[in-house]
Amino acid sequence: MTWMSSSLPLTSTSRASPVITMAGSRFFPKSSTSSQTFTTQKGSGDPTRASVVHLLARAHSLPCSAASQAFMQLVQPTARFQLALDLLLPLLTSSADLAQRIPVSFILYSMYAPYPISLNPFKSVLYATFVKERELAIEVSAKGEFSEREQLVWVLWKILKEDGNDIGPYSPSTLTKSPLPPELRASCLFLDEETFMENDPDHSVAKSTITAGEPKQFAEQGASKNLLPLLPPATETKITREADRENERIAQAMKLVLAARDRALTLTEQRASITLTPLIPRLTSPTMITSVDLPPIVSYNPNLAYQLVIALLMALPNNLAQDIDISVYLDALTLLPPTLPSFDLLGRLLRDTSAIPDYSTGGKTTIADIVRSEVLGRFIHESIKWLDNAERDEHEGLVSDDRFAKGVQNLCRFYSALLKLSIVDAASDADSTEMSHFALRHSRFEDANALYCILASGRFDPFYTAMI
């Protein structure tokens, strides 16, 4: 059951102006911490390209195989090669973050994984990158230091040996943070140049060359499929059918979330999102959703936005451990425009009594309590500012729709519902002062006039609202 009657959302305008603190209001202080970003090429007007850029920016926390499956679902088969040339190859050969270059390498490999590496059109670039990064890593190693390139060199080596599937279950974040044993350092990894630089199908692609002076034991150990040296042998298995299905479902959930930012999901997609609901926590811990993603998802798909916000708050301990500041997501909620989808989301959150950790006291609180104390006051304040700007634009002839009148009507109805549910108190100056002034100023509207009567009477008779 939705919070208010469903209708088309109001057209929103920008609300990036500084926030003026309302006297007596209670909300989370503005945080200077921004969500983690990655260096990516900016997408053009092509929505598919933009979705792939968004995917790569968040692929660091997902299994490489899940990122690859998401890429396959986002891009049509006939467009994959060209998009790989235009977007993936420049990332692979650039100095971008390893958390992006590793999934790019795996995607380029997995596009032609059913075939021998000799038939992969990107094998020469993969090999050239392997050689370049290996030389740079060896130079750093010669100085007695350790280069982060070592992990990328090892990943490329596994891919070029056709052992890339061993990497699939692990995320780039896990791979970059796992130290390599001495026998898997860049100086000990060798490949046959002729296999990758010449079009000779007779060469064995998966074979490494043991050059003169290379200890044979290193080659034998390097040829093994020990994916992560710190993991016990029991976990070093190839992708099982169950794991593959799980990765495919994660990729589908990720695809729906990416699409939800740009449009309302179809009925078929909404039904699919219901079945994928248990996977949403996997997308929020560590999070692949940024605070910038929330407003468009709320506008187009408030039901999905509700599930994402709940998952973000539930994953609070994990996110704090990874230096993810939850306040940026609460800030995003306070800056939502006063539209029906926003009121629907806030109303559902304010009635959700699910227990979550209290990051300020270390104890327990509820979603309703944290949203009321950290979001509601500032949301009301920002909504009034938004409507004031909309009224000014209407007077200046900049807009010709009824966003201002509809906004006043919906905000007053929303606040009246909060009063009836005892979420806010009409007798409390901290709760109702600013809204009383707003309702009085716009009392020419029926809903604003009715709300002002409730607020004014409630100051003298606290039980008045119970009889409304």
Q: What is the pLDDT of residues 97-143, one digit of tens each?
A: 888 899 999 999 988 887 788 888 888 888 888 888 888 888 888 88
Using alpha carbons only, give the angle 96, 102, 104 rounded to the nearest 5 degrees.
Answer: 80
Cα–Cα distance list, 415 to 228, 411, 436 (Å)? 55, 6, 10
Residue 401 has a pLDDT of 84
pLDDT of residue 182: 72
Query: What angle, 0 to 180 degrees and rounded to 10, lies between the N-to-C axes of helices 403-420 and 446-460?
Result: 30
Tens digits of residue pLDDT in 280-321? 777 665 556 777 888 999 999 999 899 888 888 887 655 444
In the prediction, which pLDDT does 446 show? Answer: 93
Q: For residues 119, 124, 130 and 132, what is the CA-based torsion angle, rounded to 10 degrees?
A: 180
Query: Per-residue pLDDT averaged across 205-211, rounded?
Result: 32
pLDDT of residue 442: 92
pLDDT at 388: 93
Q: Which two tokens stand for residue 330?
A: 């609460």
Average pLDDT, the chain: 75
For the segment 414-431, the average pLDDT, to the nearest whole number, is: 89
Q: What is the pLDDT of residue 30?
A: 37
CA distance 446 to 439: 10
Question: What mean pLDDT is predicted for residues 62-82?
Answer: 86
Residue 222: pLDDT band with limits 50, 70, 90: very low
> What are the tens digits of pLDDT across the range 28-53?
333 333 333 333 344 445 788 888 88
The pairs formed by 415-419 with CB atoms below 8 angstroms and a separation of 24 or more are: 415/380, 415/451, 416/447, 416/450, 416/451, 416/454, 417/3, 417/4, 417/347, 418/350, 419/454, 419/455, 419/458, 419/465, 419/468
Res. 235: pLDDT tops 80: no
What angle (nearest 5°) sits at the alpha carbon of residue 241, between those of residues 239 and 247? Answer: 70
* pLDDT 10s digits, 136-194: 888 888 887 777 788 888 888 888 888 888 888 888 888 877 777 777 777 788 776 65
Q: Which pTM does this prediction carry?
A: 0.53
pLDDT greater at residue 235 or residue 197:
197
Q: What percent of the chain has pLDDT over 90?
A: 21
pLDDT exceeds cutoff 50 at 1:
no
| Count of positions (residues) in the chain | 468
Find all residues with CB under 8 Å of 363, minimum gap 6, and list them. 357
Residue 430's contacts (CB-CB under 8 Å, 6 or more residues apart) are 24, 25, 26, 377
Structure token digits, residue 128: 């050239």
Lowest mean pLDDT among 253-267, 270-284, 318-332, 450-464: 318-332
Q: Give the pLDDT score at 325.
A: 67
Tell me how far apart the alpha carbons of residues 107 and 372 are, in angstroms, rounded to a whole number. 44
| Position 15 pLDDT exceeds 70 | no
- pLDDT, residue 209, reads 31
Q: Is there a contact between 258 and 50 (Cβ–Cβ < 8 Å)?
A: no
| Residue-level pLDDT at 94 | 85
pLDDT exceeds 60 at position 2? no
